[in-house]
Amino acid sequence: MRLTLLGTGDSAGVPHIGCDCETCRRYHEEGRHRTRFSVLVENNGENILIDASPDLRFQFLREGIEDVDAVVITHAHYDHYAGLGSLYRVVWDALPIYGAPNVLDAVLNEYAYLPFPRRFEAEPFEPFGVAGLEFTLVPVHHPPMETYGVVIRDESTDTKVVLSGDTSRFFDDDSFEAMRNPDLLVADAFVPSDTTHNRFVADRISDDGLEFADKHMTYEGALDLADALDADDLALVHASHYFDDDYDELADDGDTYVF
Ligand SMILES: [Zn+2]
Ligand SMILES: [Zn+2]
Ligand SMILES: [Zn+2]
């Protein structure tokens, strides 16, 4: 199994439109981007997407991806599904779209005009198989949106990968238990809690410094979750422009992990 982090940015992406903060200026100067959230999972010669970023076209061109065999959608926020539209005239066959029933209702209703989506409902905690891998959706906490993390198991290599694009630090024990002991945790770190921000950001960080706006983790919250889950490796994503470069666990667009 091989994972590629196609997009490691928050819903606005970095550089942020209209912003001239130090980070955005540096990204402009260096031609860098944090595009919106998407992860490519490759196994047995098949390409599975976890979420479909609005930047999908750019991500596919950048990574030389030519086709996709299945998509898993975690929740119905724009930055996680709008890339489905970019697959028009890229995908010619029926494309399985996996997700929880309510999530599929919201996303597929919006894309009812697309010819290729085939709906595959996945109930929370009930594993389903794609490309020789086992996927399980686990509820996380990202109010008000019904949102899931994804647990991927590869029995052939005894590997467990846990991904969550959007969650706050604390969610139900059942989900926590299902996510325990991953070889790799991919999780959101929206903002650092220990640097200077504008009021909008600072006022939304929880008193314990672990959560942002009750729906995302801070960098420190994500480290705390990784520690609690006993994750062997960590890739922090969904990062905003409020970070400078001094955060070692932040992943970058195009980072890959092979198991
Ligand atoms: Zn998001
Ligand atoms: Zn900025
Ligand atoms: Zn979201």
What average pLDDT does range 112-120 have in this prediction?
96
φ/ψ of residue 64, rounded to 5: 70, 30
Whose atoms come closest to the Cα of 53: which ligand?
A: 1
For residue 246, what pLDDT is reported?
87
Whose atoms come closest to the Cα of 77: which ligand?
A: 3
For 61-83, what is each residue's pLDDT tens digit? 999 999 999 999 999 999 999 99
For residue 88, what pLDDT is reported?
95
Q: How remote is the CA of residue 25 from the centroid of ligand 1, in Å?
A: 23
Whose atoms come closest to the Cα of 51: which ligand?
A: 1
Give the architecture (CATH level 2) of 2-258.
Answer: 4-Layer Sandwich (3.60)
Residue 176's CB: how many other CB atoms inside 10 A? 15
Q: How remote is the CA of residue 150 from the centroid of ligand 3, in Å?
A: 14
What average pLDDT does range 155-180 have in this prediction?
97
For 177-202, what is each residue's pLDDT tens digit? 999 999 999 999 999 998 777 888 88
Confidence of residue 256 (pLDDT cuts 50, 70, 90): very high
Q: How remote is the CA of residue 20 from the centroid of ligand 2, in Å?
A: 6
Q: At residue 244, does pLDDT exceed 90? A: no
- Domain coordinates of the chain in residue numbers? 2-258
- Reduced to 3 states, what is the DSSP secondary structure of residue 192? coil
End-to-end CA distance of the chain: 5
What average pLDDT does range 220-224 have in this prediction?
98
- SS3 readout for 85-149: HHHECCECCCEEEEECHHHHHHHHHHCCCCCCEEEEECCCCCCEEECCEEEEEEECCCCCCCCEE
For residue 199, what pLDDT is reported?
83
Q: How remote is the CA of residue 105 from the centroid of ligand 2, in Å?
A: 34
Q: How remote is the CA of residue 14 from the centroid of ligand 1, in Å?
A: 13
In total, the chain counts a number of residues equal to: 259
Q: How remote is the CA of residue 211 from the centroid of ligand 2, in Å?
A: 20
Whose atoms come closest to the Cα of 165: which ligand?
A: 1
Whose atoms come closest to the Cα of 244: which ligand?
A: 2
CA distance 58 to 42: 19
Confidence of residue 245 (pLDDT cuts 50, 70, 90): confident
